[in-house]
Structure 1
Amino acid sequence: MKPSTTPTVAILLCTYNGQRYLRDQLDSVAAQTYPHWVMWASDDGSQDDTLSILAEYRAKWSQERLSVVHGPRSGFVANFLSLACRVDIQADYYAYSDQDDVWYTDKLQRAVAWLRTVSDDVPALYCSRTQLVNADNNEVGFSPLYSSPPCFANALTQNIGSGNTMVFNHAARLLLLEAGGDVDVVAHDWWTYMVVSGCAGKVFYDTEPSLCYRQHDANVVGVDLSWLAVVAQFRKLWRGHFRQGNGQNIQALRRLQARLTPESWRTLETFDAARHRWLIPRLLGLFQSGVHRQRFSGQLSLLAAAILKKI
């Protein structure tokens, strides 16, 4: 699918009991400086006024601007992938959207400007840093800043781009379609980063924030940089969550073996083999695979996981 002179962005919004902040998000989408967008909202069984709010905006924007469908009711990952793999959604670019953020007015404009520099037959993914805000939309900080280039060897153990910032082209979307909406992965955004970077695609991490990422008690996924969060992450690692998640992602990537570059396939196989060996071969295999995390603290946690056989 070749982008038109005025490429259309399909915004993939997933909702679930989102009445508290949904209007703020929808208003920020309506305020975009890039006007060529349509929105598809997949509701996962909301029991509050979420559907009424969507109906209100559908009447305000027109039915062509906003389509509402029912999600699979199997969690946020399945809901997002069900939209990304819905064949009746056709656009030049696709943007994941959470229900409780506030987009900067130039969010889509900046993403489209970069995506248009990439050939339409090359999978491409834009993502960015985020401005963290509290429940009342007051600034509380920023998401971590990553400086190393995005790549598959990084994507295997870390996601650098929040899904709410991600915009990707049709070539990337075709890879998600090929893998299938039923793929068992940890997160839709991490999966997208792995797929695009592993299949000869291009990934751009914008160090300038593109939205206000709201942190509140009802977050399914959030950004917590406190020491308590570090302790919680270590507990998950010790209990095997990181190892289990790596296993899920690796198994899912095997669906795309024919699309992965030879280098990506070697990295995947070397890393997977290392996970099942005893200590010295395990550490050697991790080094040989080239798999790494951004920032020194991330590398230390990856090394600790390898030593404890939790990768």
Structure 2
Amino acid sequence: MSIFMLNTPSSLWSNDLCTAKVAILMCSYNGESFLSEQLESIERQSYRNWTLMVSDDGSQDRTLTILQAYGDRWGSGRLSVAMGPKRGFVANFLSLTCRTDIEADFFAWSDQDDIWGEDKLQVALDWLQTIPAQVPALYCGRTQLVSDSGATVGYSPCFSLPPRFANALVQSIAGGNTMVFNQAARVLIREAGAGVKIPSHDWWAYLLVTGAGGVVYYDPEPKMQYRQHDENLIGSNSGWAASLVRLRMVFQGRFYEWSEQNIHALEAMQHRLCEEHQVTLARFKGARGQTLFRRVLGIRLAGLYRQTFLGNLGLILATLLKKI
């Protein structure tokens, strides 16, 4: 149910000449510290034909007040806010993406605390609009990492191997905050449902689009600043600290658990997977429960790979330890 819809007339967007509509899907929760910076960066987008839909998961700070103020300033129905499911960020993003009252040609996920480059949407749409509308397509990319104060602290890894299903089964290559996707990709997400149990919405989008024979473009040029906190260290996918955290998770069985969730969710969407990807999924699932030799052979036959040398070493280690 919508909390408020803002329709105040405004001339701020009078030069909007673009035809394809983009729905920016933001999830918020107690985001008053950095929300205004993100809203300002969205306002500065060179691509103008967008609306911002926010799903708030029960903020107790000034988040809703800030959203109200920007909505009043923007006007013209630019911003709407709804109540989230209050079951965590994955459920929040999925519930927002699956809403039947949000219609657009393209969809962009947004965090509440990042800063977008002015051409973020334009660059994504320049690629997406080259893909036939019936083909699921997902744009994602590298990020510039910044601290709470906005100082640059580095960049996420620059991946160069093809973004394919055999990679998606064992690695999420980009954050949802970089992702823009077309209507065909959104149809897949909606069909899978808002209640699907998965580790993360961005990994799920990568799996679904590649598994269904869609296309993914990974942009090596960062188009946004990704603010780093302790809780999103893994999401940054950068540096030895994050690598050590992920290695510890291998030993703790977290990746095994995540693979279980992804496999189960993909099996429910098996009818949407290409035949070759159905085979890859079956080989991956079958190999995980085998003895060491058969497990290693099965993973190899499935053709699974990660994007970096160290990542593939980690994959080998997880396979040997039966933690994949």
TM-score class, shorter-chain normalisation, is over 0.9
RMSD: 1.4
Matched, 1:32 2:49: no
Q: How does 1:180-191 map to 2 (within 5 A)?
A: 180-191=193-204
Name the residue aligned to 1:260.
273
CA distance in 2, matches of 1:304, 1:143: 23
The structure-2 alpha-carbon separation of the partners of 1:219 and 1:274, relative to structure 1 and needing over 3 Å to count, comes to closer
Aligned counterpart in structure 2 of residue 166 of structure 1, from 171, 179, 184: 179
Q: How does 1:1-311 map to 2 (within 5 A)?
A: 6-62=19-75, 64-217=77-230, 219=232, 222-223=235-236, 225-311=238-324
TM-score, normalised via structure 2 length: 0.93
The structure-2 alpha-carbon separation of the partners of 1:292 and 1:220, relative to structure 1 and needing over 3 Å to count, comes to closer
The aligned amino acid for 2:281 is L
The aligned amino acid for 2:150 is N
CA distance in 1, matches of 2:173, 2:237: 14
CA distance in 1, matches of 2:159, 2:244: 22
Partner SS state of residue 271, structure 2: coil
Between stretches 134-143 and 216-225, larger displacement belongs to 216-225
Shift of 1:161: 1.5
Corresponding residue pairs, total: 308
Q: Would you say the 8 A contact 2:18–2:49 is kept in 1?
A: no
CA distance in 1, matches of 2:105, 2:241: 42
The structure-2 alpha-carbon separation of the partners of 1:257 and 1:218, relative to structure 1 and needing over 3 Å to count, comes to closer
Q: 1:229-268: per-residue Cα shift (whole Å, max 9, x none)?
A: 3222211111110000000001001121111000110000
The aligned amino acid for 1:41 is V
**% same residue:** 52
CA distance in 1, matches of 2:164, 2:35: 33
The structure-2 alpha-carbon separation of the partners of 1:114 and 1:270, relative to structure 1 and needing over 3 Å to count, comes to same
Between stretches 140-149 and 230-239, larger displacement belongs to 230-239
CA distance in 2, matches of 1:230, 1:221: 8
Partner SS state of residue 88, structure 1: coil
CA distance in 1, matches of 2:186, 2:237: 30
CA distance in 2, matches of 1:170, 1:213: 25
Q: Would you say the 8 A contact 2:157–2:237 is kept in 1?
A: no
CA distance in 2, matches of 1:236, 1:129: 23
Shift of 1:151: 0.3
Shift of 1:38: 0.3
Between stretches 160-169 and 213-222, larger displacement belongs to 213-222
TM-score, normalised via structure 1 length: 0.96
